[in-house]
Structure 1
Amino acid sequence: MEELNNENFKSDKIQVPYSSGKNYTMLRMPMNSCDCHHHIYNPVRFPYLPEDTRNQPPAPVDAYRILQKRLGTTRNVIVTPSSYGTNNSCTLDALKQMGEKARAVVVIDNSITNEELGEMHELGVRGIRFNIATGAAKDAEQILTLSQRIHELGWHVSFWMTADDTVELQNLLVKLPTPIVFDHRGHIPQPSGISHPAFKVICSLIDRGNTWVKLSGLYQDSLVGEPTYSDTVKVGREYVKFAPERLVWGSDWPHPSEFSAKKDMPDDALMLDLLAEQAPEEAIRNQILVDNPAILYDFPKRETKTL
């Protein structure tokens, strides 16, 4: 496998906005590694919802590109944050800036037209998200209807919701025709961890062949925190044991939940390095970083060199 060699960077430092630490990742990153979950904020050009009072600071494309350099990723997936509601203008603008190596997940409602969906697809949108964790209605009819509408485009439905919500909605989830993606390990809570019934629900959905899990934002749900995140790492490790072919990785940069909670920013390179604790085998890590995202987000297959 062709890889990016970060050895020349080991003694260097790099400062990334909204990220603590300055070291580069210690992992040898395969070509076409993908960060499958991050946000772009640009409130100057694209104002937030009037009712959103968190006032997230600007986190534009240029700042994110610095993070890519630090991590060694070249592909990325932009997720419309809840600050924008169903206004995806900021995300779509970022897609135009980032080009063919970027994809996006947007937030929509029933008012969207088929023409608008087609235009989004051409730009690189490959999924929709329901932000139930921030108060979006658990509207089963709307979720099913929108899932049916995007099915022909080959998109997926991503859920940001609590583990309890997952258990509550399991009868709906099995009806969705599209692939399903759970953000942030499905928010399996601590200290219950994999003993929470949501873990079993998610694994049963994975067994059906159309469900994926993001190993993103280790600080989400962790009671241990930096530098080990041993509790959420353990959950990730169990997913790897169960179905490595259904996992992707994401940074969750610029870490809006931590900003809102007035917490210190996490170390993105450290969180990526901890993927090795969850997936000790390099081949499995490469699958999570390259092959799985290519399938889920419709990236071109990895190029290989021939003699």
Structure 2
Amino acid sequence: MTTPRFDAHCHIFNPRYSLKVCNRPVPGPFTVADYQASVAPLGFTGGAVISSTAQGFHQGHLLDALRWLGPGYVGVTRLPATVADAELDTLNGFGVRGLRLALKTGEPLLQEQILAMGRRVHRHVGWHVELAVDARELADLEDCLSQLPALCLDHRVLSRNGLPTLLRLAEQGAHVKICGMSGFNATSVGMLKDIHAANPSALMLGTGLPLINATPDALLRDLEMLFETLGDSAAQRVLWNNAASFYRLQTS
């Protein structure tokens, strides 16, 4: 029996839906069909589709992607603080399982808003917060983040600059995504081992497609590197078990 695999971080950019101009280049089209072709050799049976900053607070792009990807895929969306409970219920019903918050280096960190929104969505629909934050900002955010009921940190935190804080958060239950492992050096591999040792349930692997531009061969090397670094049993946790539990997948 083939073991399942979960892509914990990918994006879909359907040209039917407009994108807003932000402080980085607007992504080109990357449809469900494009994504499926890219990951076909990798054995993924599910994944988390993440709303990009360029997609704003509009939900059509995410719900359309989840519809076409089918069972096994869930969504992580961006929402304003004013979102109504009824909309949370609707999105949850369509398979959204998390709230995406992006903090930019050098901008004011509204920790009260992070806590308020994180607690609200967890209380109402059981969602977690997924935070895009620079590793250098983790120390200043540690007290705030440690109070969230459920937290996932994306691959930007994988740096020696924030490792002590990251390990403490992982020990407390935070999940950590790894994307684009090709080219990792011995130091980076050491960080993966440290995080796994701090909490074997913490790590989840995502392709990062298409914003992390990797060929199928590079993605296959990522998977090989994961097994070489952590061993078969731990690597399978990273590829499936940790995410299946965190995203509350229906596995029956």
TM-score (norm 1): 0.75
Unaligned runs of 5+ in 2: none
Which residue in 1 is equivalent to 2:175?
212
User: Which string of whole-angstrom CA distances, capped at 9 and with x for unpartnered residues, describes residues 42-74 of structure 1?
Assistant: 2x3111114466131101100111123111111
- d(CA) in 1 for partners of 2:204 and 2:103? 21
CA–CA separation in structure 1 for the residues paired with 2:78 and 2:180: 20
Partner of 2:234: 284
Q: How far, CA to CA, are the matches of 2:97 and 2:220 in structure 1?
A: 26
For residues 106 and 63 of structure 2, the distance between their equivalents in structure 1, rounded to whole angstroms, comes to: 23
Tell me if the contact between 1:255 and 1:265 (Cα under 8 Å) persists in the aligned partners: no
After the TM superposition, list the runs of 4 or more consecutive aligned residues in structure 1 that deviate by more than 6 angstroms.
none
2:245 aligns with: 295
**What's the counterpart of residue 202 of structure 1?**
166
Which structure is higher in helix share? 2
Distance 1:185 1:233, change over 3 A: farther
> Structure 2 length as normaliser, TM-score?
0.90
RMSD: 2.3
Q: Does 1:66 align with 2:37?
A: yes
- Structure 1 residues 240 and 273, CA gap change in structure 2 (3 angstroms): same
Q: 1:265 to 1:70 in 2, by over 3 A?
A: closer
The whole-number CA distance in structure 2 between the counterparts of 1:116 and 1:287 is 33
Counterpart Cα distance in 2 of 1:53 and 1:203: 30
How far the C-alpha of 1:240 sits from its partner, in A, is 2.1
C-alpha separation in 1, matches of 2:90 and 2:41: 32
Q: Which structure would you say has the larger Rg? A: 1
Matched, 1:33 2:5: yes
What letter is aligned with 2:211?
Answer: H
- Shift of residue 239, structure 1, vs aligned partner: 1.5
Inter-partner Cα distance in structure 2 for 1:80 and 1:200:
29
Cα shift at 1:293: 1.0
Match of 2:19 among 48, 52, 66: 48
Q: Give the AA of the match of 1:124.
A: G
Aligned length: 251
Q: Report percent identity of matched pairs.
A: 25
Give me the whole-angstrom Cα distance separating, in 2, the residues matched to 1:40 and 1:240: 29
In structure 2, relative to structure 1, the CA distance for the partners of 1:53 and 1:33 (3 Å cut) is closer
Question: SS at 2:48's partner residue?
Answer: strand
Identify the residue that residue 209 of structure 2 maps to in structure 1: 253
